[in-house]
Amino acid sequence: MNSRWRTVAALAFLLALTVGFYWQLTLSSAYTWLENPDQALQVRPWLDYEARELHAGRLPLWDPYQVGGQSLIGQVQPGLANPLNWILFAMPLRDGHIPLSVLHWYWVLIHWVAAVLAYWLCRDLKAGIGPSLLGASIYALAGFMGHSGTPQFLMSAVWIPVVLLFFARVFRGERPLGNAALSGAAMGLAFLGGHHNVPVYTAVLLGGLWLWYIGGAGAFACQPPSPLLRERLAVSLPIRRIGHALIFVAICFLVSAVQMLPAIEYGRRAVRWAGTPEPQHWKDRIPYSVHAEYSLHARSIPGMVVPGLSVHANPFVGIVALTLALTAIYLRWRSRRVRLLAAIALGGLLLALGADTPVHRMAYLLIPMVDKARYPAMAVVLSQAGIAALAALGLDALGRASPADAGPAVKWLIGFAAAIFAVYAILWQLHRAPTGHPTWIIGVVALALSAVLYWWRGAPAAVLALFLIEATTVPLPIQRRHQPDSLLKQVTDQADIAEFLKQQPGWFRVQMDEDAVPDNFGDFYGIEQFGGYLASMPINIHRILGDSHTPRWFGVEYYVARKPAKPEEVEVFQSRRGLKVYREPGIQQPLWSVHDTPCGTTDRLDLVSRMPDALVIDTDMGCGGRVVVGDPWFPGWRAWVDGTRVRIQEFEGVVRAVPLEAGRHRIEFRYRPGSVYWGAGLSTLGLLLGGLIHHLDRPRHGT
């Protein structure tokens, strides 16, 4: 079988393995990954809205259905700029929603993509097919990747193996300029994934690795032929390596621009909830106490091999992976590949430990944007990527080593198993299980692995089977459906409320009692909601929450709750769940005119059409003034009066207004954010430039 067909077979095997590992989602309809607050109430409505808009032929840059409207792409987490999400959005909808079965396969296939890219990394590091399959499985099915439920976290982490693959080539002196460009492109794609935490910590770790590389890490692909040439290279080499690093940074910035520019634009005008009692402006440094709270902590380190010992992120890789990683370090320490991977594994762990080490605190104090990545525990995925690749190299080394070389690993495994059994027996006698999981299985796996290493020097199939056995001892972020307190059912049970509201005439918004309806009802059903389950909102909207003018300015005509919020509200509908819809009679559509001087005639304002990113109004003004629209003012909105571009004004610093002369006019508002268009152009340039640099950097001898 030639190499191409071997690769196809390996990828098919990884697909079958991933589908089987997550059989509850792929082979059964009784389970889901969506049955928790973040996924059911926030993530699923986001994905639904994006898919509906793209099916309608519109790019959902603006979300009109939460807090009166705000930039969708600027919030980052919806993952609109993530190319992998576009495949999901292209899938057929059912009653305007993405079917649950499609969402289940989407989540599973994220793990398959992670496995494929990790397999590529291991193969590029010269590990064999069997060891590479093991390394891919460790990265995709264990630890952070295997047990994090939130897709935007996973999508960002998917690209880590590719970032490391191309950097490792630079480190080894293989086409350093071209591979630096590709590493930067992969880093930029990670920033498009949907969440900033993992990419920020990946960038921090890569920054340290680049400094190590510039400072002299690695060696020449061949020894310089003379002392004089060696002396000249000693002067020029750091300068050339600085150039490689600058190419990495430049391409990363360019590729990520389509997401980063709108995020910066939105962040400057928004407040967010960052683990503090009060929302904070983006300029405010998130207190280090928040980072300390969301650190992995040293007490989680045993959780790398003992299931259930974790804080905020799952550190588990298993005794199989850790043993083989240590074996690679023991047998192949002189290899630059191994030293690099060991640095990655250690660096990622030190960052994840957060407040328990000085490394994270130094990064927090010295490196921009680290204070915004308030979840240090997520950096453990970097350590797990290094361990997975080391495990592949360790298994590969054992297959080529003498039986005596496996001796230290065998002794370590027997000692570890004895310790596990001793601790488990003592705690069992005291009627206290060490964790909520069958930890004794890890001891059995350790003994079985010692036998495999001693007699067969690490048969890949047997080792992979042992890893899968211990991986199944860790609970997955998958829950049963149709439970009495099901969040998914709670959301879908609101369909009759949505149907009633869609039948009501005019332009209005609805507000929810957040205790009764905590989900993003507006995004899920396509109804304009004032409020929502969000991590941030524009400052101008946050400032007027609770103000007496707010319901009138934004046309908040309906209120959904079990009882009215105001005496004047009138019940107009009751749902199957017992929730009631109340209407406030005095609220009209959020569209009015303002005159600086008294006007003796009445203005006529007619709403012609309204879409998420556009609004058309016909007016007949008795005298000159301003037309005010109850939509938030935000950069990127453009206005035309009778086809002529006009400047949008801020009314009371909150909503949009345009000046008009007396007479009949047509006003058109459209969301055309320059940050997105410039970002898309820069991202396209970055991808093309990265590919061009790699193409022009022909193979050469040495660095």
Terminal Cα distance for the chain, rounded: 35
With H, G, I as helix, E, B as strand and everything else as coil, classify residue 669.
Answer: strand
Which two structure tokens, joined as six digits, stand for 42? 């926030």
**Alpha carbon 182 to chain centroid, angstroms:** 21
pLDDT at 703: 41
Q: How many CB atoms lie within 10 A of CB 427?
A: 14
Burial 21-60 (b: 16+ CB within 10 A, else e): bbebbbeeeebbbbbbebbbbbbbbbbbbbbbbbeeeeeb
Q: How many CA atoms lie within 13 A of 362 on its CB side?
A: 8
Q: Where are the beta strands (DSSP E) in 503-642?
A: 509-512, 536-538, 556-561, 570-574, 580-583, 591-594, 604-611, 614-621, 625-632, 637-641
Domain chopping of the chain, boundaries: 3-222+231-401+457-477+682-696, 493-583, 591-635+637-672
Give CA–CA dist 35/152, Å, rounded: 16
In CATH, 591-635+637-672 is 2.60.40: yes
Q: Residue 679's pLDDT is what?
A: 96
- 579-590 in b/e form (b: 16+ CB < 10 A) is bbbbbbeebebb
How far is it, in rounded angstroms, from Cα 613 to Cα 383?
42
Token readout for 231 is 């002396």
DSSP letter for each residue of 230-262: HHHHHHHHHHHHHHHHHHHHHHHHHHHHHHHHH
Q: 523 and 63 in contact (C-beta within 8 Å)?
A: yes
pLDDT digits (tens, 9 = 90+) for 609-652: 999 999 999 999 989 899 999 999 999 999 999 999 999 999 99
**Per-residue confidence (pLDDT) for residue 405, from 0 to 100:** 73
pLDDT digits (tens, 9 = 90+) for 244-295: 999 999 999 999 999 999 999 999 999 887 666 677 777 778 889 888 999 9
pLDDT score of 20: 95
What does the alpha-carbon distance between residue 120 and residue 117 come to, in Å, rounded to a whole number? 5
- Looking at residue 498, its pLDDT comes to 95
* Model pTM score: 0.92
Query: Is residue 557 within 8 Å of residue 583, measured between CB atoms?
Result: yes
Looking at residue 1, what is its pLDDT? 61
Q: What is the pLDDT of residue 280?
A: 76
Residue 592 has a pLDDT of 94
Q: CB-side exposure of 433: number of CA atoms within 13 Å?
A: 10
Which pLDDT score is estimated for 51? 96
pLDDT score for 430: 62
Task: Supply φ then ψ for residue 638, to 5 degrees.
Answer: -120, 150
Spans of the chain below 70 pLDDT: 1, 217-235, 274-277, 427-438, 457-458, 699-703
